[in-house]
Structure 1
Amino acid sequence: MRLSTVILSVLRWSEGGRERWRRAEELGFHTAYTYDHLSWREPFRDGPWFGALPTLAAAAGATERMRLGTLVTSPNFRHPVTLAKELITLDDLSGGRITLGVGAGGSGYDATALRAPGERPWTPRERADHFDAFLPLLDRLLTEDTVTHAGTHYSAHDVRNIPGCVQRPRLPFAVAATGPRGMRLAARYGQAWVTTGDPRAAEGTPVESRDALRAQVERLERICEEEGRDPAGLPRTLLTGFTPDRPLASREAFVDFAGSCGELGFDELVVHWPIRGTMFEADEGVFEEIAGTVL
């Protein structure tokens, strides 16, 4: 099982940001991700928050081996044409170390940032509709030299993306999804599937949460089979921090948690770098011990 981390872009690069990404590589994390939001929930909403893609470009220059990525990018404020150009550039800058975590997006601040005052955000169905159009077009833009496409939600006219990605045929997609439409996209286009668990079980017990995760995995496997894909060929990533479990409470707690997730078929666990005074607060000594010994 791989162990990765999320580094939220809340520090100035010159005031601890660079050192945090370098330290993640020193600790041996497989991948260091960052959220791709314009801003996020409280208490982060009114504090420093830097852009994901420029941060990853800087991280590519500050590290050498560790993979880098978003967790996750969404159509809420991204367009496939401009995103593809930026991803190809990031993949080149990093020497082929970029993973795109991508999902349909949520209903938070990102969903209204580009809307006029009073204009409603997309409904869950509309977000799913946009994602259905977003991911196939992005796949083409990252694998074909020239793309023209006329769609209901996104269009591209004679778009050139030469020389393409360093990683061939393109950089990997880690598709975040809990519903059947998103899981179907993961089965068709994903090199990994991502979940944060079932939000309906977030206030329950760890056992209830793991039962919900098991149900998600079983649904994913059924959809893979319907799509003609071997479920074993789609790696599974759990972004921790949104279930009742407390895996960073101690080394022993993490080992037990990781063992349970492994039994459910997860290949990668992602833990948040501790941030004091937030939902991601944890003992940094325990965090480093987990990275240094469990890996």
Structure 2
Amino acid sequence: MLHYNTSSVTHPSTFILLGIPGLEAAHVWLSIPFCAMYIVAILANFTILFIVKMEPNLQQPMCYFLSMLAISDLVLSTSILPKTLSIFWFDSREIEFNACLTQMFFMHCFSVMESGIFVAMALDRYAAICDPLRYSTILTKPVVLKIGLVVVLRGCILALPYPFLARQWPYCRTNIIPELYCVHIAVVKLACADIRISSYYGLFMQFCVKGLDAVFIAVSYIQILRVIFRLPTKDSRIKTFETCVSHLCAILAFYIPGLFISLTNRFVQNVPLYFHILIANLYLFTPPVLNPIVYGVKTKQIWDRLLRLLTHKRT
């Protein structure tokens, strides 16, 4: 039974998150990898933040952007995974209407922020490789702080219409969401109204915002590769390219699952709902786990500092 507010626009007091329809019997087993990913994401990202803070050699633009990425990953995973685990472990499926909209805002906001941070990192690599003599004067600390502020404001402004639009619609069909969390399109599909504005805005965000970010990153790396291929020796080309490997791996982990979801939703028929939900969860939960590991292994100063910390604790 739905319980509605007395306002002119009817809202359910709560939504019911089904989890992963079709795999309810496996929820307890699925909680094991989800919980493991959350623990790794928390520990690894806090470790990155601690090492960047404590290591003077890491007080540089790329590591500032890496710290922003770690904070974004922490907030993104924490806004979703605790509720996901409560569904798996305690069958706690109810979520209040306002809490659902709050989760929606944070999820979309920090996903956009993460995309913006990758663009900032691409700018950093472009400046470092294509204009190394002016790198320290281009990306000064004030400039990095301004870029970070723009990324945060952009994420907040672009994500704000999601809960705002979802609040405008009347809900008179059902309050059951066949998802693990309050993703925008799954919520507004429950509305008994014309939700084309919500759908169009979702497409705008997916293709115009993140799509343009991906294009900017691709153009940056085309220029970077042109410079790398012009280097005189093979060793110098490899050494220069290695400075981009961690960033490229993080970008692939962020964008490829999203592209795969879009393609399967539009062109692949008769795919079980649980398959789409699992892929969508990989899209959200994998980057917070992989990003700190990739950067920790590929960034020599971070790896060396971590080894010194571990060695010091054992002695």
- Given the two structures, how large is their TM-score scaled by the length of structure 1? 0.25
Bigger proportion of residues as strand = 1
Work out which structure has the larger RCO, using CA pairs closer than 8 Å and 6 or more positions apart in sequence: 2
**Normalization by structure 2: what TM-score?**
0.24
Query: Which structure's CA Rg is the greater one?
Result: 2
